[in-house]
Copies of this chain bind each other. A is one copy, B any other.
Amino acid sequence: METISCFRLSVILSIALFIFARPWYTPSKPGLLGCTKSTPWCTSKNRRTQLGSVLETQVSQPKNLPTDTPLHPLDPLTIPEIKKVRAILSAYAPFSWTFPTIHSLSLDEPDKSRVLEWIKGDPLPPRRASVIALLNGQTHVLTVDLDLGLVISHDNNPGSGYPTLSMDDISVALQVTLSNEEVNKSIMARGVAYSDLSCITPSAGWYGPNEEGKRIIKVQCYSSQGTPNFYMRPIEGLTVTVDIDKREVVKISNTDRGIPVPKATNTDYQYMAQDKPMEMEPLNPISIEQPNGQSFRVEDGHMVKWANWVFHIKPDQRAGMIISRAMVRDSVTGELRSVMYKGFASELFVPYMDIDESWYFKTYMDAGEFGLGVTAMPLVHLNDCPRYSYYMDGLFVAADGKPFVQSNMICIFERYAGDIGWRHSELPVNSFEIRESRPKVTLVARMAASVGNYDYIFDWEFQTDGLISVKVGLSGMLMVKGTPYENVYQVPISKEISGSLVSENVIGVVHDHFITFHIDMDIDGPNNSFVEVNLVKEETLPGESPRKSYLKAKRHVAMMEEDARIKLKLYDPSEFHLVNPSRRSRLGNPAGYKVVPSGTAASLLDLNDPPQIRSAFTNNQIWVTPYNRTEQWAGGLLVYQSKGEDTLAVWSERNRPIENTDIVLWYTLGFHHIPSQEDFPVMPTVSSSFALKPVNFFESNPILRSKPNFKKDLPVCRPASSS
């Protein structure tokens, strides 16, 4: 495989690409960006070296390295396969003159029926690649058959949107910005040294009716003088719009000159930069320990087997992490039963609530515009993931069509939080004393996407009682706005600010986060139904009871898509079941799973607001669609600059039948975020989750026979001299 240059890593691995601008910046010569000891910014006081050695990202645990041979129909493309696709594309007539920019190149998953009928040992179904490429401003969506060595489908410009931004796109945007004389002048006018400049391409997706129909992007800059946490030092009011394909500045918006760049003081978050002790008692080391090692194993690179669960997991450049073929063993029969065919984070929507020239467009759609996998940096051992974690690398494709490794981007570990899986006590009538309790041990698959300032931590957690919990944690830093005010008393009553003053000259702008998951449940097979179990208040008849009221559960099977566009209601509550009407328990209850929401938030933007149209998948918390292999990305296949004509909301409008057929559940987890001073200069993790919980799937409680912890099995651990 290709060696990844310092430059390529830098631009591939983050969308909030910042670059320490230099006059000699030349994106066409990537090597130049690799710094040497002689480049001035490398020796600047802010550039701490070798932090990688402080926090452990090199893990000594064994892990499967990517193999050259796929072993499962859903296994991602291997290095030789990626190279082969590149070769096929190079030889493909339309690209024979110029090789296009590759914006996506990944396995084109076989039809579900082929995957379902495949048994280990069988030959794999034909291996195909799905490619999204750009050439001369045109989008090409292709399918490549690796066995045939041919492009077998090719679609041009299939929608209003453009493919995920490539590193080259971002490099061009920054280069064009930083070579612009007017931009340079205004930055100098604000007292920021050119060598301290960090620029990013904040929100790529939508700029309004005057700026559409071309691949344009806005660039904003920060000062990293005195801190690596440049996000806290915005050069407010300077926004440069760049036409990527024409490589030119389209517009420079330069307002709010009176706003100072906020100070760097106390913004550095690095542990090594802290020179004051915390005002708290130190904590002793603490760890999740497994004296006999992990109880799970990863077979054939991607098949995870743990307790009663088996599932396939793979890194994905866009979705981050995809769980497939999740099956649980029946607690009575031992049968391995299908639960979920495929689950992943399909799209994010992060609108900021500020309509200023330099803020109105901040309506991120991070998965489709930038990619959650490509921004998932190596996890920090013992901090991002506990000791007995297994780390998995991603194998992704760069803009030139060549593979690169995203190392340690997923970790898998067993989680014990001191929680109780089940317990009961009875009163101690002499020898008949009941003290039963079972510890709750789960399996977690985790990744963390650093999409610029924000870090999104994704956990898929599997429980022995059959429950799957999907959790999203938000950490990292705020996206902040500069302001002339240093104190809330300075804000004139007539002037409203779009968020909270979180530091001097720094506003934490109000914003939302919505994360929409594609959950293709296949409960005991593909054909499932969606059932709303509504709790309805009933009034008693006069004389019928001393009670006046009670609740009754009423089941409604959704027949069409419109029956399954669900807005959660606290005062008209329902449970939402996915059931297999053909698979009944011995009592006649259909085998099912329910979606269990936890804390969430709804998007409140106007339904006709362009950002909301583009992210109309957030109009409801739950949708159910019939399975359609092309409907994977809730915001559409081509999200960047799209107008929302290919979203989940549009698909659902077709109002297809969804009863007793192969259906897909979509769930959106939401957060409103009104920042506070505690979010400055970094943001403690805020998280929420939802669960997929068995309902009448098992004949009875599956953990009944699970084992409690016994003292003899958990000898007190002492540091071993060998460690």
Smallest Cβ distance from A388 to chain B, in angstroms? Answer: 8
Question: Which of A52-60, A246-254, A624-632, A633-641 is the interface stretch?
Answer: A52-60
Q: A440 to chain B: closest CB distance in Å?
A: 7
Shortest C-beta distance, A277 to chain B (Å), equals 7
In the complex, what's the smallest C-beta–C-beta distance from A702 to chain B, in angstroms? 7
The answer, among B294, B685, B715, for a CB contact under 8 Å with A421, is B685
Q: Which residue of B lies closest to A541 (CB)?
A: B355
* A549 and B606 form a contact (CB under 8 A): yes
Contact B289 A289 (CB under 8 A): yes
CB neighbours of A180 from chain B (8 A):
none
CB proximity of A498 to chain B, nearest CB, Å: 8
A360-392 contact mask (Cβ, 8 Å, vs B): 1 or 0: 110000000000000001111111111100000
Q: Which of B33, B289, B330, B380 contacts A717 (CB 8 A)?
A: B289
Say whether B684 contacts A280, CB under 8 Å. Answer: no
Q: Which residues of B contact A696 (CB under 8 A)?
A: 500, 676-678
Taking CB atoms and an 8 Å cut-off, the chain A residues in 554-579 that contact chain B are: 567-571, 573, 575
The B-contacting residues of A in range 440-477, CB under 8 angstroms, are 440-441, 444, 448, 450, 455, 457, 463-467, 473, 475-477
Closest to A720 in B: B718
Q: Give the residues from 222 to 271 in chain A that come closer than 8 angstroms, CB to CB, to chain B.
A: 228, 266, 269-271
**Beta-carbon nearest neighbor of A13 in chain B:** B427
Point out the residue from B416, B419, B503 that lies within 8 Å of A587, measured CB to CB: B503
Q: Using Cβ atoms and an 8 Å threshold, which residues of chain B touch A294?
A: 284
One of A81-89, A137-145, A305-313 contacting the partner = A305-313
Q: A425-B377, A610-B548 are in contact. Are A383 and B293 (CB under 8 A)?
A: no
Interface residue A49 (Cβ < 8 Å from any Cβ of B): yes
Known A-B contacts A430-B34, A551-B353; A600 and B570 likewise in contact (beta carbons under 8 Å): yes
Q: Is the CB of B716 within 8 A of A440?
A: no
**In the complex, per-residue mask of A1-26: 1 if CB is within 8 Å of any chain B CB, else 0:** 00000100111011001111000000
A546 to B417, CA, bound (A): 47
CB atoms of A704 and B274 under 8 A apart: yes
- Complex alpha-carbon distance, A383 and B286, angstroms: 18
Q: Mark A429-443, 1 if CB is under 8 A from B, else 0.
A: 111111111111100
Instruction: Tell me the complex Cα distance, A146–B644, Å.
Output: 74
Q: Which of chain B's residues has its CB closest to A443's CB?
A: B283
The stretch among A65-73, A152-160, A186-194, A531-539 that forms the contact with chain B is A531-539
Interface residues of A in 680-705 (CB under 8 A from B): 680-685, 688, 693-705
- The answer to the question of A540 belonging to the interface, with a C-beta cut-off of 8 Å to chain B, is yes
Say yes or no: is A302 at the interface (Cβ < 8 Å to chain B).
Answer: no
Most central of A228, A611, A682 by chain B CB within 10 Å: A682
- Asked whether, in the complex, the Cβ of B717 is within 8 Å of the Cβ of A717, the reply is yes
Q: Which of B361, B418, B711 contacts A413 (CB 8 A)?
A: B418
Q: What are the residues of chain B within 8 A of A716 when measuring CB–CB?
A: 387, 719-720, 722-723
Interface check A123, CB cutoff 8 A: no
Question: Which listed residue, B34, B332, B378, B498, touches A435 by the CB 8 Å rule?
Answer: B378
Instruction: For chain A, residues 573 to 610, give those with C-beta under 8 angstroms from any C-beta of chain B.
Output: 573, 575, 585-589, 596-602, 604-606, 608-610
Q: Which of B457, B612, B677, B680 contacts A420 (CB 8 A)?
A: B457
Which residue of B is nearest A509, CB measured? B550
Interface pick from A113-121, A205-213, A521-529 = A205-213
For the complex, give the distance between the alpha carbons of A15 and B395 in Å: 59
Q: When the two chains form the complex, which single residue of B35, B293, B604 contacts A429, counting CB atoms closer than 8 Å? A: B35
Chain B residue contacts of A355, Cβ below 8 A: 540, 544-545, 547, 550
Q: Which chain B residues border A537 with CB–CB below 8 Å?
A: 604-606
Whether the pair B433, A711 counts as a contact (CB closer than 8 A) is: no
Known: A55-B708, A290-B284, A417-B415. A601 touches B307 (CB 8 A): no
**Which residues of the other chain, B, contact A550 by a CB distance below 8 angstroms?**
351, 353-355, 498, 605
Task: Establish whether residues B546 and A210, one from each chain, have CB atoms under 8 Å apart when the complex forms.
Answer: yes
How many chain A residues touch the partner (CB < 8 A)? Answer: 222
Kindly identify which residue among B568, B677, B700 contacts A700, using a CB–CB cutoff of 8 Å. B677
- The answer on a CB contact under 8 Å between B437 and A425 is no
Please state if B546 and A209 are interface contacts (CB–CB under 8 Å): yes
Q: Does A288 contact B (CB under 8 A)?
A: yes
Say how far A570's CB is from chain B's closest CB, in angstroms.
Answer: 5
Known: A269-B704, A473-B420. Contact between A535 and B718, CB under 8 A? Answer: no
Within 8 A of B (CB), among A28-58: 33-35, 42, 47-52, 54-57
The oligomer's copy count stands at 2
Considering only CB atoms, which chain B residue lies closest to A434 in the complex?
Answer: B228
Q: Which of B270, B334, B476 contacts A279 (CB 8 A)?
A: B334
- The contact of A437 among B49, B384, B547, by CB within 8 Å, is B384
8 A Cβ contacts from A489-538 to B:
489, 496, 498-504, 510, 512, 533, 535, 537
A552 to B604, CA, bound (A): 11
Q: How many Å lie between the Cα of A498 and that of B703 in the bound state?
A: 26
A414 interfacial by beta-carbon distance below 8 Å: yes
Chain B contacts for A276, CB-based, 8 A: 705
- Residues of B within 8 Å of A98, CB to CB, are none
Do A228 and B420 contact each other (CB < 8 Å), given the known contacts A281-B306, A383-B708, A546-B610? Answer: no
Is A278 engaged at the interface, CB distance under 8 Å to the other chain? yes
In the bound assembly, the distance between CA atoms of A54 and B50 in angstroms comes to 51
| Cβ contact within 8 Å between A279 and B333 | yes
Q: How far is the CA of A179 from the CA of B487 in the complex (A)?
A: 76
Of the candidates A598, A678, A697, A717, the one having the most CB atoms from chain B within 10 angstroms of its own CB is A678
Contact B571 A604 (CB under 8 A): yes
Contacts of A705 in B (CB 8 A): 271, 274, 276-278
> Which chain B residues lie closer than 8 Å to A700 at the CB level?
266, 503, 677-678, 680-681
> Closest 4 A-B residue pairs measured CB to CB?
A208-B546, A717-B717, A417-B417, A14-B427
A-B pairs with beta carbons under 8 Å apart, 16 shown: A35-B429, A280-B331, A283-B707, A284-B293, A285-B291, A285-B709, A286-B414, A355-B540, A385-B418, A417-B417, A422-B475, A424-B475, A425-B448, A500-B696, A553-B674, A681-B704
